[in-house]
Amino acid sequence: MCSRSTPERAIILSESTGKSAAAEILELRAGLLARAREFFAGRGIIEVETPLLSRGVVVDRHLDPPVCRYSPGADGAGETLYLQTSPEAAMKRLLAAGMGAIYQVAHAFREGERGRLHNPEFTIIEWYRPGLDHHELMDEVGALVSLLLPEVSRDGGWEKLSYRQLFRDRLGLDPIECGVGELGGAAEKLGIEIEGEFDWNDRDAWLDLLLSTRLQDDLGTERPVFIYDYPASQAALARLCPAEPRLAERFELFIGGVELCNGYHELLDAAEQRGRFEEANEQRQGDGKQPLALDERLLEALEAGLPECSGVALGFDRVVMLACGADSIDEVLALPFEEV
Amino acid sequence: MATTYGTSDFRKGLRVEFDGEPYLVVECEFRKPGKGSAIYTLKVKNLLNGRVLEKTFRSGDSISGADCRDEKMQYIFNDSRDWHFMDPENYEQYAVSKEQLGDLWKYLVEEMMCEVTFYNGSPITVTPPNHVELEVEYCEPGAKGNTATNVTKPAKVQTGAEIQVPIFIKIGDVLKVDTRTGDYIERVHR
């Protein structure tokens, strides 16, 4: 484990705040990235680079891409483009074109996300594995994480716990069957005091609230833990479980209470995907947000045929945070958002 | 008068109002599941009674600021119920009760300059300097030659408070104490 910067070795990139990453953390970061690339090379997964800009997006109720303008000439006329919230759409187009197993180290952008674990521009390692289901991909994520963070697991292994079992074990309620009243009661019992506007009928808001403020902090404190099979209402781009369509084959990894990855056994059905994007846009409008342009080229690729595959996005900055015991993402970034 | 703070203004150190009482934001955490809705959790300390609460907000919510101001004032005396402070500009005096002070009475030495916080025009709390010097009025003698700092004993200082000090401290020594933690820092040679 690296220690915090000593004054001689620290490069203070900002004199005003002194908050930027120290040289030794940037060295550690480079070493972790090199090891991750070796891991993918060893498994025959090809590195790709796709554009950060796009004309349409993977529409998500709670993800807001920054918008920018491109002008082909100096006359100011031009079009609106989005900065990607993840490289998912572009990478799926490569998969549909027959690329096989691919990975990417990409920057992603999300508006309004700033905090101890969030920078509006951050680094994702995203990869896709044709032929693997979400459980097989979880095992691959576990192997990569064990390689990069050997000290986070007592015994070198990882656990898997279903989303439903997590809520049953910890709160004694079934997140799929129970009503919003029970979720609200659980929040009250746990001492969650809600101020301001809250849609008491929004099940997913309750589930997110309970998970992120009460359940998450204890997840993965002894060894990494994968939470899998999320409610179908939070499926995003995951396929629904064949045996239980109220659940989706989606997973996340938690270490030391930090959410590290989000993965799917990918939805292949173009019509169903379009329906989910449109529903997300309706929810956005209900939330008072702008609807977003659908990524039609992604939908075309799904129509043309995406191979059976699973994919995952791993938050690389947070991996570096865990490797050096940083409290804030700012400690592992060369230049945090306020310094750009 | 009342300022309103949106979730993007939330930060440690803000003074805000809930149910007509002033609170200081002592912790502010932004939480957002990758695919879920953003939540802000604030730990807020009641400036009247010190009680700490946790409050949860969603993006776009807002809270009202508390009408607080800070004034530099001199601590002049106490009658063991109230501690009295004077505005050096106009000599006006204000009383802060022992209950409002909490543990801070331990560090207040006459003539010391402090920051007095007013809420809606009344004094509610005091912030002494981070470090104060206090003279030891009584302590048990330490073993001769023992300069260890990890073994401590209680020492009664001029304000009447007991501070944990290293074993080598003697009656008449002057201690530098951190008022935020109550910890002994070092012996001061006057």
Domain boundaries, chain A: 1-36, 43-315
Contacts of A308 (CB under 8 A, 6+ apart): A130, A131, A266, A268
d(Cα B116, Cα B63) in Å, to the nearest integer? 24
Contacts of A200 (CB under 8 A, 6+ apart): A180, A184
To the nearest whole number, what is the mean pLDDT of chain A? 92
Q: pLDDT value at position A3?
A: 38
Of the candidates A194, A196, A252, the beta carbon closest to that of B34 is on A252
Q: Is A208 close to B54, i.e. CB distance below 8 A?
A: no
Strand partners, A315: A124
Q: Is B35 close to A211, i.e. CB distance below 8 A?
A: no
Determine the 3-state secondary structure of A184 from DSSP: helix
Nearest CA in chain A to B28: A115
The domain defined by B4-65 folds into SH3 type barrels. (2.30.30)
To the nearest whole number, what is the mean pLDDT of chain B? 90
Candidates B17, B32, B40: best to mutate against A (most CBs of A within 10 A) is B32
Contact A266, A239 (CB under 8 A): yes
Q: Is B56 close to A234, i.e. CB distance below 8 A?
A: no
Candidates B18, B53, B56: best to mutate against A (most CBs of A within 10 A) is B56
Contacts of B119 (CB under 8 A, 6+ apart): B22, B47, B48, B66, B67, B68
- ipTM of model: 0.82
Using the Cβ of B37 and the Cβ atoms of chain A, whether some distance falls under 8 Å is answered with: yes
Number of residue pairs across A and B with CB atoms under 8 Å? 85
pLDDT reading at B179 higher than 90: yes
Report which residue type is found at A96: A
Strand partners, B165: B153
d(Cα A291, Cα A313) in Å, to the nearest integer? 24
Q: Which backbone phi and psi does A72 adopt, to 5 degrees?
A: -70, -25
Question: How far is A252 from chain B, CA to nearest CA, in Å?
Answer: 9
pLDDT in tens, B62-77: 899 999 999 999 999 9
pLDDT in tens, A60-85: 999 999 999 999 887 778 899 999 99
How close are the terminal C-alpha atoms of chain B, in Å?
47
Yes or no: domain B131-188 corresponds to CATH 2.40.50.140: yes
Least confident of A34-43, A192-201, B29-38: A192-201
Q: pLDDT value at position B134?
A: 95
Q: Please choose, from the candidates A104, A90, A1, the residue with its C-alpha nearest in 3D space to the C-alpha of residue A53.
A: A90
Kindly report the length of chain A. Answer: 340
pLDDT in tens, B12-22: 989 999 999 99
Q: Is B38 close to A113, i.e. CB distance below 8 A?
A: yes
Q: Is residue A20 very low, low, confident or very high in pLDDT (cuts 50, 70, 90)?
A: low
Cα Rg of chain B, angstroms:
21
Q: pLDDT value at position A196?
A: 76
Instruction: Tell me the CATH number for domain A43-315.
Output: 3.30.930.10
DSSP state of A22: P
The alpha carbon torsion through A154, A160, A164, A166 (nearest 10 deg) reads 0
pLDDT reading at A8 higher than 60: no
pLDDT in tens, B104-129: 999 999 999 999 999 988 999 899 99
Query: What are the strands of the beta sheet with B39-46, ordered from one edge?
Result: B4-6, B62-65, B15-18, B21-31, B39-46, B52-58
Contact A192, A213 (CB under 8 A): yes
Nearest CA in chain A to B35: A62
Q: What is the pTM of this model?
A: 0.83
Q: Is B32 close to A113, i.e. CB distance below 8 A?
A: yes
Q: pLDDT value at position B48?
A: 86
Percent of chain A with pLDDT over 90: 84
Q: Strand A102-109 relative to strand A79-83: parallel, antiparallel, unpaired?
A: unpaired
Nearest CA in chain B to A328: B29
Q: Which helix (H) or strand (E) holds A273?
A: helix A270-286
How many of the other CB atoms lie within 10 Å of CB of A130? 17
Q: Is A196 close to B62, i.e. CB distance below 8 A?
A: yes
The alpha carbon torsion through B9, B11, B16, B18 (nearest 10 deg) reads 100
Determine the 3-state secondary structure of A163 from DSSP: helix
For chain B, the structural domain boundaries read 4-65, 68-127, 131-188
DSSP state of B113: E
Measured over the CA atoms of residue B168, residue B174, residue B176 and residue B177, the dihedral's sign is positive
Instruction: Tell me the CATH number for domain B68-127.
Output: 2.40.50.140
Q: Is B36 close to A234, i.e. CB distance below 8 A?
A: yes
Question: How far is B94 from chain A, CA to nearest CA, in Å?
Answer: 35
Q: Is residue A10 very low, low, confident or very high in pLDDT (cuts 50, 70, 90)?
A: very low
Q: Which helix (H) or strand (E) holds A244?
A: strand A244-255
Q: pLDDT value at position A208?
A: 93
pLDDT in tens, B89-99: 999 999 999 88
pLDDT in tens, A258-270: 999 999 999 999 9
pLDDT reading at A336 higher than 50: yes
pLDDT in tens, B123-151: 998 999 999 999 999 998 876 665 665 78
Contact A274, A299 (CB under 8 A): yes
Write the burial class of residue A337 (CB in 10 Å: 0-12 exposed, 13-18 middle, 19+ buried).
middle
State the average pLDDT over residues A311-336: 96
Kindly report the length of chain B. Answer: 190
pLDDT reading at A247 higher than 70: yes
Least confident of A80-94, B48-62, B153-167: B48-62
The alpha carbon torsion through B159, B165, B171, B175 (nearest 10 deg) reads -60
Contact B75, B104 (CB under 8 A): no
Same fold, B4-65 and B68-127: no
Q: Is B57 close to A252, i.e. CB distance below 8 A?
A: no
Write the burial class of residue A8 (CB in 10 Å: 0-12 exposed, 13-18 middle, 19+ buried).
exposed
